[in-house]
Amino acid sequence: MNTPVLSERKLLLLLAAVQFTHIMDFMIMMPLGPQLMRELGINAQQFGALISSFAITSGVVGLALAPFADRFDRRKLLLFCYAGFTVGTLACGLCDTGTSLFWARAICGAFGGVSGATIMAIVADVVPPERRAQGMGIIMTAFSAAAALGVPFGLKIAQWWKWEAPFLVVAGLAALVWIGLFRILPPVRGHLTEGKVKSGKDFLELLRNGNAWIGLSLMVAMIFGHFTIIPYLSPYLVGNVGLPETSLFLVYLTGGLVTIFTGPLVGKLADKHGRFLVYSCLIAGACIVIRILTSSGPLPVWQTLVLAAFFFTFASGRFVPGQATISMAVPSSRRGAYMSLVACSRDLASGLTAAVGGMVVTQSADGKLLNFDKLGWIAIGVSILSLGIFRLVKSAE
């Protein structure tokens, strides 16, 4: 099949559209927390299990696929996995119990995680190192768009109809994006001509690469520094900070709108002034905001929104220079397998942090979350540790 030639920017925007549906599907679960716990009759620990099912399944499947990721045209791999993700999201919208939703989320994770890793591998293959942080910034803008547009819209339709509605909408949108991918995404086979992973022995050689493991450690540290508090942020804002549940969409709208502009800016600054310098500034800002946010009492809505804007800017912004640095840890011929391992480590870390959060926080009779400040200290400590890990990652390009 002939496909039109895409410019680098148009290719990045197309991949960002795929990532938008991935992130919206994942993010919408967390602000739906209060509604899901109420309507499905589940507690905070069971809600954490719903979050973990997506992440852990994604990690396990990513690990199983990693030895074979560089044997395929990345276009075909993305189309296959994205189709599975779309079906899984549709299944979420058809669930009526916590158990069925748990398994539907697992299906989404199994395919969505591999799709996300393939996207990052494509970006690393087609965007040269001197512009890669900026390219990653465009992909990360999908996070901002999902937060600013997708999640608020999803919350509203969940309030107008029922909690299943956002998943049905995302499934429909993903189906349209899949058609776009099928029609215009060109083959991505450059890694096959540069030397591919031919056997399990070669994959084991990748596993023995110390620099690759340092990159994986950086991803785990970034996740622990960010995702420790994310799954329980919405119940905390409603139960402890006093934010009306009907105003939750404003938190994601505000944070997302801000990061639509700051995400690409962070990428440009990282390319110009150095990834470590920009990463360090983002970590410093994130630690301050996390400490304030996780120890706060009741706040006016406007102060909550200001904190949310800073949190989204600093806490999520760290992934732009971080992902760009991680992508350079191995040569192009091993990047598909490596990015699958990176996605695996990211998802397993996400599942672990959600599980840890479920063991630390408890919910009082009046709906407040207890011990949330302890999660904040965990996030701060690991964020500071990530600075040292970042410095150890060496470029293989």
Instruction: Give the residue, 288 or 33, on which the prediction is more confident.
Output: 288
Are 147 and 256 a contacting pair, CB within 8 Å?
A: yes
Q: What is the mean pLDDT of residues 64-87?
A: 82
Q: What is the mean pLDDT of residues 378-390?
A: 94
pLDDT at residue 82 above 80?
A: yes
**Top mean-pLDDT range of 99-103, 314-318, 353-357, 359-363:** 99-103
Are 184 and 14 a contacting pair, CB within 8 Å?
A: yes
**pLDDT value, residue 336:** 65
pLDDT at residue 5 above 60?
A: no
**pLDDT value, residue 1:** 47
Torsion sign, CA atoms 251, 253, 258, 262: positive
Which residues does residue 369 pair with via DSSP β-bridges, in sequence order?
363
- What average pLDDT is seen over the chain? 81
**pLDDT value, residue 205:** 74
Whose structure tokens read 């990748």? 206
Are 319 and 266 a contacting pair, CB within 8 Å?
A: no
Residue type, 258: V
**pLDDT value, residue 6:** 56
Tokens representing 316 are: 């999520």
First vs last C-alpha separation in the chain? 33
Are 24 and 150 a contacting pair, CB within 8 Å?
A: yes
Q: What is the pTM of this model?
A: 0.71
Are 157 and 165 a contacting pair, CB within 8 Å?
A: yes
**pLDDT value, residue 339:** 74
**pLDDT value, residue 214:** 93
Instruction: Give the residue, 381 or 263, on which the prediction is more confident.
Output: 381
**pLDDT value, residue 276:** 92
Tokens representing 375 are: 């999660």
pLDDT tens figures, 117-169:
788 778 777 777 767 667 767 776 676 677 667 777 777 888 788 888 889 99
**pLDDT value, residue 67:** 67
**pLDDT value, residue 190:** 62
Give the 3-state secondary structure of the chain: CCCCCCCHHHHHHHHHHHHHHHHHHHHCCCCCHHHHHHHHCCCHHHHHHHHHHHHHHHHHHHHHHHHHHHHCCHHHHHHHHHHHHHHHHHHHHCCCCHHHHHHHHHHHHHHHHHHHHHHHHHHHHHCCHHHHHHHHHHHHHHHHHHHHHHHHHHHHHHHHCCCCHHHHHHHHHHHHHHHHHHHHCCCCCHHHHCCCCCCHHHHHHHHCCHHHHHHHHHHHHHHHHHHCCHHHHHHHHHHHHCCCHHHHHHHHHHHHHHHHHHHHHHHHHHHHHCHHHHHHHHHHHHHHHHHHHHCCCCCCHHHHHHHHHHHHHHHHHCHHHHHHHHHCCCCHHHHHHHHHHHHHHHHHHHHHHHHHHHHHCEECCCCCEECHHHHHHHHHHHHHHHHHHHHHCCCCC
pLDDT tens figures, 217-247:
999 999 988 888 887 888 888 888 888 878 8
pLDDT tens figures, 194-215:
554 455 566 677 778 888 899 9
Whose structure tokens read 């959600």? 354
pLDDT above 70 coverage of the chain, percent: 88
pLDDT at residue 260 above 60?
A: yes
User: Domain 8-392 class?
Assistant: mainly alpha
